[in-house]
């Protein structure tokens, strides 16, 4: 069920559009917003648009050259040979420059992106955004913000988004005309390396300060600062050293058998809390991948995507995660305060957040504590 079947409908196993609208409204009443994950560089072969198995009423590109979706795809020997995402035949690549495809995504009122914002979504996370043309990404921004000014557009970018070069072109992701934010994988890597002894506090500080230097302030303060994701081993495994090349390339059945010992698990939980404490002290949006707050573990796909452990998690760990996030949520200076970092020693980073005369980094008047200091010392939580 991972591959896109119909961009405009909820997967029937989960409900329908009215259920989504109800979910969005219910979330909003609880102070939450929904951001959808959009995969627009390819579809599934079992989709309304390709329709390889004729499960949809629409005439798909695989069925007929007269299909309205035929020009979305690049066939080399019709119908069985076509460009596919990373060569995976079940994921036919879409011709992103195709005008009809772009209208399908963007048209006001009926386009996929604005349509879901109308239904209650607060934005989109763009999968493999570097495979989308920059003009299309900019148009996506305009399309969703036309519906809702505060709608967010977040990109899956694994490197420095200020100088990302993809397919021979420099991508301008952070200058206010395309993305609002990116997934901060470089910071994730630096935090894990620091907590597992691969690097010292100085190296971590350099990564943080480099990002502050190269990103415009609004973009820097909007970074999606993550520790776990569906594309990496679970963070508890990573903090036990299981995200290195040899471990993540284990055969699936071998990876399935890997379980942390009690000692490893407790050590990783302590490291995770310190990592989250660090993210909560930094500018950007601290992000928790589902299940990490419950102490879930697992190697690479599919073991990092197991069902949520609603009633099997560590209640103490969950409470400590909630405490950190609530402190961040209720402390304005941690959200928009200025940043100062000091390396106390190889194991210790001191993060100071502060207002200047009651004003935050954006010049807005703020209440609450004028200053707060967070000490991140590895080996403690």
Q: Which tens digit of pLDDT belongs to each residue from 29-46?
A: 999 999 999 999 999 999
In a domain, 64, yes or no: yes
In a domain, 122, yes or no: no
pLDDT, mean of residues 238-264 = 89
pLDDT digits (tens, 9 = 90+) for 336-372: 999 999 999 999 999 999 999 999 999 999 999 999 9
From 6, 71, 74, 127, the catalytic residue = 127
Structure confidence at residue 104 as a pLDDT band (50, 70, 90): very high
From 46, 130, 131, 156, the catalytic residue = 156
Does pLDDT of 381 surpass 80? no
Does pLDDT of 129 surpass 80? yes
* CB-CB contact of 336 with 221 (8 Å): yes
pLDDT digits (tens, 9 = 90+) for 43-87: 999 999 999 999 999 999 999 999 999 999 999 999 999 999 999
DSSP 8-class letter at 294: G
State residue 143's pLDDT score: 99
In a domain, 88, yes or no: yes
- Is 33 in the active site? no
pLDDT, mean of residues 282-294 = 98
State residue 120's pLDDT score: 98
In a domain, 238, yes or no: no
pLDDT, mean of residues 302-328 = 95
Domain encompassing residue 61: 42-95
Q: Which residues of 99-126 are buried (b: 16+ CB within 10 A; e: fewer)?
A: eebbebbbeeeebbbbbbbebbbbbbbb
State residue 244's pLDDT score: 79
Instruction: Give the DSSP H or E segment for 1.
Output: none
- Is 156 in the active site? yes
More confident residue, 348 or 313: 348
State residue 246's pLDDT score: 67
State residue 312's pLDDT score: 81
State residue 380's pLDDT score: 65
Does pLDDT of 146 surpass 60? yes
Nearest of 167, 145, 87, 154 to residue 127 by alpha carbon:
154
Residues 6+ apart with CB under 8 A from 303: 233, 234, 255, 256
Q: How many domains does the chain have?
A: 1
Task: List residues bridging with 103 in a β-sheet.
Answer: none
In a domain, 78, yes or no: yes
In a domain, 355, yes or no: no
């Amino acid at each position: 069920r991972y591959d896109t079947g119909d961009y405009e409908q909820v997967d029937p196993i989960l409900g329908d559009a009215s259920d989504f609208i109800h979910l969005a409204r219910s979330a909003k009443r609880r102070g939450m917003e929904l951001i959808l994950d959009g995969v627009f560089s390819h579809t599934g072969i079992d989709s309304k648009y390709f329709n390889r198995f004729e499960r949809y009423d629409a005439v798909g590109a695989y069925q007929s050259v007269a299909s309205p979706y035929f020009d979305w795809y690049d066939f080399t020997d019709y119908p069985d040979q076509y460009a596919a995402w990373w060569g995976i035949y079940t994921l036919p690549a879409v011709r992103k420059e195709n005008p009809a495809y772009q209208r399908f995504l963007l048209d006001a009122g009926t386009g996929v992106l604005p349509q879901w914002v109308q239904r209650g979504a607060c934005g989109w996370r763009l999968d493999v955004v570097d495979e989308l043309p920059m003009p299309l990404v900019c148009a996506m921004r305009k399309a969703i913000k036309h519906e809702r000014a505060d709608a967010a557009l977040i990109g899956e970018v694994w490197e420095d988004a200020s100088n990302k070069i993809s397919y021979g072109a420099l991508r301008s992701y952070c200058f206010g005309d395309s993305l609002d934010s990116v997934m901060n994988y470089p910071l994730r890597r630096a935090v894990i390396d620091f907590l597992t002894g691969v690097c010292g506090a100085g190296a971590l500080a350099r990564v943080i300060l480099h990002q502050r230097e190269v990103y415009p302030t609004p973009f820097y303060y909007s970074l999606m600062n993550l520790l776990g994701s569906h594309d990496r081993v679970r963070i508890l495994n990573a903090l036990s050293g299981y995200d290195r090349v040899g471990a993540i390339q284990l055969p699936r059945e071998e990876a399935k058998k890997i379980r942390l010992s009690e000692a490893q698990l407790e050590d990783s939980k302590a490291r995770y809390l310190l990592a989250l404490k660090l993210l909560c002290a930094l500018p950007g949006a601290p992000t928790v991948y589902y299940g990490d707050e419950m102490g879930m573990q697992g190697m690479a796909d599919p073991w990092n995507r197991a069902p949520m452990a609603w009633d099997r998690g560590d209640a103490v760990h969950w409470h400590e995660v909630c405490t950190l996030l609530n402190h961040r949520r209720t402390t304005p200076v941690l959200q928009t305060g200025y940043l100062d970092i000091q390396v106390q020693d190889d194991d210790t980073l001191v993060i100071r957040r502060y207002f200047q005369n009651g004003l935050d980094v954006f010049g807005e008047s703020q209440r609450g504590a004028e200053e707060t200091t967070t000490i991140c010392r590895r080996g403690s939580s």
